Copies of this chain bind each other. A is one copy, B any other.
Amino acid sequence: METMTPKISRSPITNKEYQLPANSDDKAGIDQFLSLHPGKKVVVVQGLGFVGSVMGLVVANALTEEYAVIGIDLPSPASFWKICSINEGIFPVLASDPKIPLYYENTRRKKNYYATYDPYVYSKADVVVVDINLDVKKKASATKEPEDYSVDLTPFKKAIESIGNNCKQDILVLVETTVPPGTSDKVVRPLLEECLIKRGLPTNELKVGHSYERVMPGPKYIDSIQNFYRVFAGTDEKSTNAVETFLRTVIKTDEYPLTRLGNTNATEMAKVLENSFRAMNIAFMVEWSRFAEEAGVDIYEVVNAIRMRPTHKNIMLPGLGVGGYCLTKDPLLASWAKMNLFGSSERLVQSEKGVHINDKMPLYAYEYLRTQYDGSLEGKKVLLLGVSYLNDVGDTRYTPVEGFFDQLEIDDAIIALHDPHVLYWEEKDIWINQDLDKLFEDTYDLIVITTGHKDYRNNPDLISKILKQPSALIYDTIGVLTNEEIKSLSLKHTVRVIGRGDL
């Protein structure tokens, strides 16, 4: 494991190191880029993470308009390499979606997607799309109570101010960030107006709207923006219309019609409600999968039977836990907003509880293992198959594998990691071994399937590799193994699957 020096930003894709710039001046770069695109509307995408970098790509490949697109992020160790990477011709997101290289090639050809770190760019923007993070801080996940979290709007406000301090008076600021309901109306608009007033500019032409993305990193990454339903609203009718006009140029709205809601509180609520629905439905299954284990029932066959009903299609399956950037925090954003932006005295208790239950899932899975090893896995050799929180995607943000991994470290187990989609586990600063053959040269006491990647499903090679191991405990936390695979593995190993009683 290596640690980055603070003055360097290193690309996990190319491993190339970039010196951070001494100051934020990139005026020359911006002006040169814009000189290639006279007369085009300028769209600035603020934030070059999983959403912003691809949103920029989609806008640069807009359906009915030619935009000059500039992505902006901070010149920090975590982000500066993305800026350099875009400008050097290497897209900063690894994804299985074949449209990404196609779209990116197109922007290279058209030279219409630039990246920078200089807030001067806002002065040139007709539209700013806000795709920065708004985080929830939680206490240590294993022990915390549902209430133990905080929302700090300061970094978000700072980012909005950097727009307001530079932008034109008639700009459209389209917030795509998942924010606490009330934010566009009670925070973003007032803040931008304040900035304009300070600069002696009128506020009546300012347009602020909210339309949340439903981006899914993975094989349909681009489609999850371009070919997907959108909900939108503005802080006033002019703003709403401006958002609609912009979205129509970017999204296939004939096939995926836009939904206009009454106000931005509603669109902001829709997003966090959507994710709370999902998080809560996962949390709901936790108790039932334990019940299934007690009653000798296979929860997977039960859930599949129930899903035959259209009214029950969305019932979830158990697993190791819940990860990703949304489901782990959005219910908390909502509850925080209810109390802090709308003065309610009641939290969203159930939704908070859902997050809490989900956060505890990896610990629950691990506790079962402790019962199998007399209380501790000290010195046990453990192979974890999967680091990403999502199948077939290299996204490690808030992956439940982390909570599980942390317990293994606490116990002083000897850990080997594999994930075909994760080169570098950013949060842990670990480079991931991609070579399963190499990994299986070693022997393990415990092999845990922690992510449901396709590579681990119906893979006779993996099964035969495991069968070549001396006796081990095979712990399938996702329900990846088929009945036939379990039968074959059980000849030599002990096999356990979360949510399945009889094997």
- With both beta carbons as reference points, the residue of chain B lying nearest to A287 in the complex is identified as B348
**In the complex the two chains form, what is the Cα distance from A298 to B231 in whole Å?**
14
CB distance from A291 to the nearest CB of B (A): 5
Report which of B229, B297, B308 forms a contact with A269, defined as CB distance below 8 A: B297
The reply to whether B346 and A290 contact each other, CB–CB distance below 8 Å, is yes
23 A-B pairs within 8 Å (CB atoms) are namely: A182-B295, A214-B309, A229-B305, A231-B305, A262-B301, A265-B297, A266-B295, A266-B301, A270-B305, A276-B284, A276-B288, A277-B312, A277-B315, A283-B350, A284-B350, A287-B346, A287-B348, A287-B350, A288-B348, A288-B351, A291-B348, A294-B338, A294-B343
Beyond the given pairs A229-B308, A262-B298, A283-B350, 20 more chain A to chain B contacts, judged by CB atoms under 8 angstroms and listed by A's residue number, are A181-B297, A229-B305, A231-B305, A262-B301, A262-B502, A265-B297, A269-B292, A269-B297, A270-B305, A270-B306, A273-B302, A273-B315, A277-B284, A277-B312, A284-B350, A288-B351, A290-B346, A291-B348, A294-B342, A295-B342
Contacts of A259 in B (CB 8 A): 304-305, 308
Report which of B309, B351, B502 forms a contact with A287, defined as CB distance below 8 A: B351
The reply to whether B338 and A278 contact each other, CB–CB distance below 8 Å, is no
A184 at the interface (CB under 8 A from B): no
**CB proximity to B under 8 Å, residues A297-329:** 297-298, 301-306, 308-315
The reply to whether B334 and A291 contact each other, CB–CB distance below 8 Å, is yes
The reply to whether A312 and B314 contact each other, CB–CB distance below 8 Å, is yes
**In the complex the two chains form, what is the Cα distance from A295 to B351 in whole Å?**
17
**In the complex the two chains form, what is the Cα distance from A296 to B263 in whole Å?**
9
The reply to whether B283 and A281 contact each other, CB–CB distance below 8 Å, is no
CB distance from A187 to the nearest CB of B (A): 14
- With both beta carbons as reference points, the residue of chain B lying nearest to A347 in the complex is identified as B287
Q: Using CB atoms and an 8 Å cutoff, list the residues of chain A in contact with chain B.
A: 181-182, 214, 229, 231, 259, 261-263, 265-266, 269-270, 273-274, 276-278, 280-281, 283-284, 287-288, 290-292, 294-298, 301-306, 308-315, 334, 338, 342-344, 346, 348-351, 353, 357, 502
The reply to whether A288 and B273 contact each other, CB–CB distance below 8 Å, is yes
CB distance from A274 to the nearest CB of B (A): 5
CB distance from A52 to the nearest CB of B (A): 22
Contacts of A182 in B (CB 8 A): 295
The reply to whether A270 and B302 contact each other, CB–CB distance below 8 Å, is yes
The reply to whether B314 and A311 contact each other, CB–CB distance below 8 Å, is yes
Chain A at the B interface: mostly helix, strand, loop or mixed? helix
**In the complex the two chains form, what is the Cα distance from A292 to B351 in whole Å?**
15
**In the complex the two chains form, what is the Cα distance from A174 to B271 in whole Å?**
45
**In the complex the two chains form, what is the Cα distance from A270 to B306 in whole Å?**
7
Contacts of A266 in B (CB 8 A): 295, 297-298, 301-302
Most buried by B among A277, A296, A344: A277
The reply to whether B290 and A284 contact each other, CB–CB distance below 8 Å, is no
- With both beta carbons as reference points, the residue of chain B lying nearest to A182 in the complex is identified as B295
**In the complex the two chains form, what is the Cα distance from A315 to B272 in whole Å?**
13
The reply to whether A284 and B295 contact each other, CB–CB distance below 8 Å, is no
The reply to whether A305 and B502 contact each other, CB–CB distance below 8 Å, is no
Most buried by B among A182, A284, A338, A357: A284
- With both beta carbons as reference points, the residue of chain B lying nearest to A316 in the complex is identified as B277
**In the complex the two chains form, what is the Cα distance from A350 to B502 in whole Å?**
25
- With both beta carbons as reference points, the residue of chain B lying nearest to A280 in the complex is identified as B284
Contacts of A344 in B (CB 8 A): 290-291, 294
Report which of B291, B306, B343 forms a contact with A274, defined as CB distance below 8 A: B306
**In the complex the two chains form, what is the Cα distance from A342 to B290 in whole Å?**
12
- A291-B214 contact in complex given A270-B302, A310-B313, A312-B314, C-beta closer than 8 Å: no
Contacts of A278 in B (CB 8 A): 311-312
**In the complex the two chains form, what is the Cα distance from A303 to B298 in whole Å?**
32
**In the complex the two chains form, what is the Cα distance from A346 to B295 in whole Å?**
13
CB distance from A141 to the nearest CB of B (A): 19
Contacts of A229 in B (CB 8 A): 305, 308-309
**In the complex the two chains form, what is the Cα distance from A41 to B502 in whole Å?**
36
Contacts of A357 in B (CB 8 A): 350
CB distance from A151 to the nearest CB of B (A): 16
- With both beta carbons as reference points, the residue of chain B lying nearest to A231 in the complex is identified as B305
- With both beta carbons as reference points, the residue of chain B lying nearest to A262 in the complex is identified as B298
